[in-house]
A = this chain, B = another copy of it.
Amino acid sequence: MPCLSIDADRLIGRIQDLGRIGRGENGKLTRLAASDADKAGRDRLVDSMREAGLELRCDRVGNLFGVWREADVADLAPILVGSHIDTVIDAGVYDGCAGVLAGLEAIETLRGSGFKPARPIAVAAFTNEEGVRFAPDMLGSLAYVGGLTVEDALATIATDGAALGAELARIGYAGSDAPGFLRPHAYVELHIEQGPVLDREGLAIGAVEGVQGISWRRVTIEGVANHAGTTPMTMRRDAGRAAAQVIAHLHDHVAGSNAPSVATVGCIAFEPNAINVIPSRARFTVDLRDPDERRLRRMEAALDGFLDRLAVAEGVSIAVERLARFEPVAFDPRIVALIEDVAKRRGLTSKRMTLGAGHDAQMLARICPAAMIFVPSVGGISHNPNEFTRVADLAAGADVLLDVVTRLAGA
């Protein structure tokens, strides 16, 4: 295998260039889906795709594709790479864009090298991945894999009242292709980690083997409000203390399990919320995640059991609402192994990882073998102007993407 490498200067130059588009007067980067800023970003991407000699395609929900299709293999299912270029409000420059532009970079490098692909290779930028302006997030890739009809997607109303269909038409990105028109042979997405693990452990590459399942619940504990000075500890039915026991138990149970499970209590409120009144009500959210569905179910059952015992022990009543539930997604083990293999051949350290949900790859996994390549994000920061990935780490990730595409599109 020749040691072909991407052009790191060209890649980081394009990321920085795209990151200058969509800055407000305050200098903050905000390119919400199907906005004027998104149009300007798409226009720049289209220019780059054209320079790379790719065929431009846009589907009806605005997913944008640059396709390298040699005549002799034009009818075969393509290798698809990509991500998204829409951003959150006051964003960094890497989230999404790094994946699209690394994909473009890999294709351009392969084309320039004289490589003869055994099937088409295409790079995609999916519409409204962030979900800030239109709900749900990952809307474009969801529609692409058939999880949302084109009609429903186009009728989606923005937080500012506009319909997605009208906005796409207005900015000139309401394409004519049916979502799913390119049915991929495989999909590979490079992304910054959006978590601290690679950076903290000094590793170069994350080989993402799946998406965590998610269980969101809201727990309401009803006790009895009483005077903080006159009610002996043994006569209390303290909803706040019961909530604290749940939080402490959840952490200990999950952190002590040696599994990649995570549990988070992010929201809490007490009533009456007065310094000298024992809380009559405590309401809090529980976010449980695990890449293994059976283990996620066991976590849910363990929580239910703990709440049942707690209600008896503390003399409180406890109600649980399910707010959201998503089963885990397993990425394609062959592609995951391929990512590890090419990283090793390049002398790069790597680690198998699981997503905390929220990337287009998990949608594409419904219709083709898929996986993701993570590169380190300093401090795990994302969705923030301080988001930062070193050029060397980006280049290493793009080289791994290049090698994976080379192997997948090879003879």
- Enumerate chain A interface residues (CB-CB to B < 8 A): 193-197, 200, 212, 214, 216, 226-235, 238, 240-241, 243-248, 251, 254-255, 260-270, 272-279, 285, 287, 289, 323, 355-358, 380, 382
| Given contacts A230-B194, A235-B196, A266 and B279 within 8 Å (CB-CB) | yes
Q: What are 18 A-B contacts defined by CB distance under 8 Å?
A: A196-B226, A227-B356, A228-B356, A229-B355, A230-B380, A231-B380, A234-B255, A244-B246, A244-B247, A244-B248, A244-B251, A245-B248, A264-B276, A266-B270, A266-B276, A266-B279, A275-B287, A275-B323
Would you list the 5 A-B pairs with minimal beta carbon distance, nearest first? Answer: A229-B356, A195-B230, A244-B247, A228-B264, A230-B356
CB neighbours (8 Å) of A278 from chain B are 264, 266
CB neighbours (8 Å) of A270 from chain B are 266-268
Give A248 to B251 CA distance when docked, in angstroms: 13
| Given contacts A235-B196, A266-B279, A287 and B228 within 8 Å (CB-CB) | yes
- A229 in complex: contacting residue of B200, B276, B357, CB < 8 Å: B357
Classify the secondary structure of A's interface with B: mixed
| Given contacts A227-B195, A232-B260, A248-B241, A266 and B273 within 8 Å (CB-CB) | yes
A240 in contact with B254 (CB, 8 Å): no
Min CB gap A130→B, angstroms = 14
B267 in contact with A229 (CB, 8 Å): no
Give A221 to B198 CA distance when docked, in angstroms: 27
B276 in contact with A195 (CB, 8 Å): no
CB neighbours (8 Å) of A241 from chain B are 247-248, 251, 265
Give A340 to B268 CA distance when docked, in angstroms: 46
Give A209 to B165 CA distance when docked, in angstroms: 76
CB neighbours (8 Å) of A358 from chain B are 229
Min CB gap A179→B, angstroms = 27
Give A254 to B228 CA distance when docked, in angstroms: 13
Give A356 to B212 CA distance when docked, in angstroms: 50
